Structure 1
Amino acid sequence: MKHKNIQPNLERRKFLKNGAISTAAFTIIPRFVLGGNGYTPPSEKLNIACVGVGGKGRVDVDGVSSENIVALCDVDQKRASENRGELKSAYAAFPSARKYVDFREMLEKETDIDAVTISTPDHMHAIVTMEAMKKGKHVYTQKPLTRTIGESKKVVSFAREAGIVSQMGNQGHANEGPRILNELIWQGAIGNVKEVHCWTNRPVWAQGIAERPKDMPPIPPTLNWDLWVGPSKYRTYHPDYMPFSWRAWWDFGVGALGDMGCHLMDYPFWALKLTSPISIEGYSSPVYEETAPQASLITYKFISGLDGSNVDVVWYDGGLKPNMPKGIENHIDLWESIGGVIFVGDEGVLVYGHHQPKPVLLINGKEKDFGTPKEIIPRSPGHYIEWINEIKGNKNRALSNFDYAGPLNEAVLLGNVAIRTGEKLIWDSDNMKVTNIPEANKYLWEDYRTGWEL
């Protein structure tokens, strides 16, 4: 069934814009005289609500601050009230925005919202995103798009059918560096790519934890713990879970791979026009029932969208790294950074550090200046602005929309399924199942606790 996209505020903006045009016929005062050059009147701004406004969520609020921030929602009032670096807390920066603890109440009451940012722990991404889309709101959801593959399939399908303007929060997708990287590969700088290596310094939190903490400290009075747990199986509060270390626990996060995979695997996914992997095989330090391992190495086999050949994408975390390519010695800062990728072609190598301005080209083990490749991909005004502009009907398109981000997210999460089963998996994306290890399919979807549904 097609889902109707209810967009009352688009009609509001259209009416106000037309009204402004009509009024202009009776005055000779230019708008910039009233508001300053570059001024955008409130009638042309989106009404945006933000769910999860502390930590990374605070950065996302800032990213859309060119618009009207009308509502802020967070289950952790202490976290929401904290500054992040030089950014004042969202509550202090936007004092007129209405404050909520429960996103469902916010979406029910705030009928004038155009769009929502979702910057919660991973286990809440699908729930909040889907609820906002059901209300006809456009969505910006942090990476990973969802915690499970089943959630990912549902969220992507709904967004497409409902005509939602979407963006996943892998901000590097808007940077200049990946565009140069893609253009070099597409213009044959290293020949045919046969393998890609992606590494990260994550986790920088504890993983590989054998059992839950046993002590039971009191729940802070500023935290709604039941809402924080959300659709996951209920457990007693402990500071080992939040505000940051939830990433290690399968009920709440997807480990180092889920944290950085949608950033670093985005580069080969985009450059080689990949879709679903054919197979996934992983090795790791000990895997416990409830937590991601301390270190993992995962090999994905894809079919390249460029030439139809097989290509391996290998993932490393927890201190594991690929062999350092000859010629990169002058870029040790890149090698020791948060993470990066190595594209190995039959004529050369490209090394790209996460969020770096450009890649390093190596030919026969020596660095080579590649000049300026022919521009193929339009340059981005910014990850958040892409999304905002598309909602407004401007020429920019959100390039990490869910149709793109969903398959990337699916591929990333399959790595964790391989790690948890300890088996090589053969993947059938169309039918959403592992075909050779049936028991692996239990990790594709996990039941929500009573009172929660997607």
Structure 2
Amino acid sequence: MKRRKFIKDSVVGASAFTIVPGSILAKPGRVAPSDKLDIAVIGAGGRGNAHWSGAKESGRANIVALVDVDDKRAANAYRSNPKAKRLKDYRKLENIQDEFDAVMVATPDHTHGVIGMAMMDMGKHAYIEKPLAHDIYEVRQLTEKAAEKNLVTQMGNHGSSGDGIREICEWVWAGMIGDVTEAYCWTNRPVWPQGKPAPTGASPIPDTLDWDLWQGPVPFNHYSPQYLPFKWRGWWDYGTGALGDMGCHIIDPVFKALKLGYPTEVTSSNTTVWVDDFVEADFEKSCPPSSVSHLRFPEREGMPAVKLHWYDGGLMPSFPEGIDPNEKLGNWDGGILLVGDKGMLSAGCYGLNPKLHYPNGNPNMNKPKPSLDRVEDGMDGHMKQWIVACLDGGETSSPLSYAGPLSETVLMGNLGIRSYQMKQLQEGKTPTSWAPYDYPGRKRLLWDGKNMKVTNFDPANQFVRREYRDGWSLT
């Protein structure tokens, strides 16, 4: 029996993953089927370096294939894994699908959807970087596919395996700050250029890069060094801005501790950049330099309705009364603040260093004993946890069943931001006078999460699901 089929058949129809112990099937001089997971890493350069190196350090994985559209970016991966097969086009993995069991996807946001769907359609377990995909529809399709195929999945929000998020959940669920009705999240991102006019003209394409393949399903743009490397995050065609980059890290503890699901509405606003007197920069292609989004969630599981406020680009919520004015909230990457009717809870990005704050004095409440299982090595064990779950069974910290709704919430914030950016541009108008502007994006966008639809402002629905260029499909 091929190893791929052995692993696949072992999980079909079961909610808990049970693998036959390796000692039963092992033969002298041969690795047992359940001892090593054969992995293909897609997007082997850049962030992918952490994926293949983390998988190897787990001691439970083989890197059998490396996929990257840029030989220069992938050079370190190739050099460090000389036995792995090298491919530029992930679609060619279909030709060797019997040789690997799982994939790790570390490409830019705009190709997560098509790659993740193609691999899970083959029955491959998947570790996909955050956010799960570029738009809400793609995320929903990936989530449903993982459930349909009964696959072991994990999103790359490694803070979800940390001790901090578990402490936050235990403290909130024990009622240590009471009923939470407000949550604040913030980040210093972007740390790349945003709020710029789109590049014009064509720049020479590096010899090592397949630019057409890198663009994947996105309508064709001429190559520009303003897109690569890393700067793609600030362009709507490819990235998901500051919120897409850090939201799945920072909002994660809030989402899990407050047992959130789909939001019911969002309101957003952005920085305005002026290119001349009373003439605004065109943000049609670029994410804004900073933004604020407010999301509402209904009552759920005995918890009251809650408002979640997001700030990026260095913007911050007002400093709360009752906390030492000299205290620093969060960390360099950002932070969270939960406001309850008995107290407050703050933490840094990834849920690090959670703290309780009691404006009216410490009520002498004892912290609950740990009740949630800790992950070996915490955040550093996030990848290994997924690999072990693929081989031996067990849960992951951020399976798509959880990471999907979390990513949809993050991308719902982006839907609000992009709707605010539309302003008069959707009508083909240019602000040229002192006349008041019509800003349709200032509306409260009411959201039907189940059906993925804005119910009171139809132009916003164009951001729920994008159109692919010819030759590309999610199915």
Q: TM-score, normalised by structure 2?
A: 0.84
Number of the residue aligned with 1:413: 411
Number of the residue aligned with 2:74: 80
- Aligned residue among 8, 11, 16 for 2:5: 8
Q: Whole-Å Cα distance in 1 between the matches of residues 34 and 162 of structure 2?
A: 30
Instruction: Tell me the amino acid that sits aligned with residue 68 of structure 2.
Output: D
Which SS does the other structure have where 2:185 is aligned?
strand
Number of the residue aligned with 1:445: 465
Number of the residue aligned with 1:393: 392
Residues 104-148 of structure 1 show CA distances to partners (whole Å, capped at 9, x for unaligned) of: 112322422100000000000011101101111110000000101
Residues 285-315 of structure 1 show CA distances to partners (whole Å, capped at 9, x for unaligned) of: 1371111111111000012434242100000
The answer to which of 174-183 and 334-343 deviates more is 334-343
Taking a change above 3 Å as real, the CA distance of residues 75 and 371 of structure 1, as seen in their structure-2 partners, is: farther
- In the alignment, is the contact (CA less than 8 A) between 2:198 and 2:286 conserved in 1? no
- Aligned residue among 95, 118, 122 for 2:82: 95
Shift of 1:417: 1.2
Taking a change above 3 Å as real, the CA distance of residues 199 and 104 of structure 1, as seen in their structure-2 partners, is: same
- In the alignment, is the contact (CA less than 8 A) between 1:167 and 1:387 conserved in 2? yes
Residues 42-74 of structure 1 show CA distances to partners (whole Å, capped at 9, x for unaligned) of: 861010110012221111222211301111111
Q: Whole-Å Cα distance in 1 between the matches of residues 231 and 361 of structure 2?
A: 41
Shift of 1:320: 0.6
Number of the residue aligned with 1:84: none
Q: Whole-Å Cα distance in 1 between the matches of residues 327 and 81 of structure 2?
A: 41
Q: Whole-Å Cα distance in 2 between the matches of residues 51 and 397 of structure 1?
A: 23
Shift of 1:180: 0.6
Shift of 1:407: 0.7
Number of the residue aligned with 2:51: 60
Taking a change above 3 Å as real, the CA distance of residues 77 and 328 of structure 1, as seen in their structure-2 partners, is: farther
Taking a change above 3 Å as real, the CA distance of residues 266 and 131 of structure 1, as seen in their structure-2 partners, is: same
Number of the residue aligned with 1:305: 300
Instruction: Tell me the amino acid that sits aligned with residue 108 of structure 1.
Output: N
Unmatched segments (≥5 aa) in structure 2: 11-18, 273-281, 420-440
Q: Whole-Å Cα distance in 2 between the matches of residues 112 and 369 of structure 1?
A: 58
Does 2:44 correspond to 1:44? no
Number of the residue aligned with 1:27: none
Shift of 1:338: 0.8
- Aligned residue among 99, 107, 113 for 2:94: 107
- Identity over the aligned pairs, expressed in percent? 42
Taking a change above 3 Å as real, the CA distance of residues 295 and 226 of structure 1, as seen in their structure-2 partners, is: same
Q: Whole-Å Cα distance in 2 between the matches of residues 7 and 98 of structure 1?
A: 17
Higher relative contact order (CA 8 A, sep 6+): 2
Q: Whole-Å Cα distance in 1 between the matches of residues 225 and 361 of structure 2?
A: 49
Does 2:348 correspond to 1:353? yes
Instruction: Tell me the amino acid that sits aligned with residue 92 of structure 1.
Output: R
Q: TM-score, normalised by structure 1?
A: 0.88
Does 2:319 correspond to 1:324? yes
Number of the residue aligned with 2:138: 151
Number of the residue aligned with 1:166: 153
Q: Report runs of 4+ in structure 1 exceeding 4 Å deviation.
A: 11-17, 40-43, 328-331, 365-372
Instruction: Tell me the amino acid that sits aligned with residue 390 of structure 2.
Output: I
Instruction: Tell me the amino acid that sits aligned with residue 417 of structure 2.
Output: I
- Aligned residue among 61, 70, 76 for 2:64: 70
Taking a change above 3 Å as real, the CA distance of residues 59 and 366 of structure 1, as seen in their structure-2 partners, is: farther
The answer to which of 296-305 and 314-323 deviates more is 296-305
Number of the residue aligned with 1:436: 456
Instruction: Tell me the amino acid that sits aligned with residue 73 of structure 2.
Output: R
Taking a change above 3 Å as real, the CA distance of residues 370 and 93 of structure 1, as seen in their structure-2 partners, is: farther
Q: Whole-Å Cα distance in 2 between the matches of residues 115 and 339 of structure 1?
A: 32
Number of the residue aligned with 1:31: none
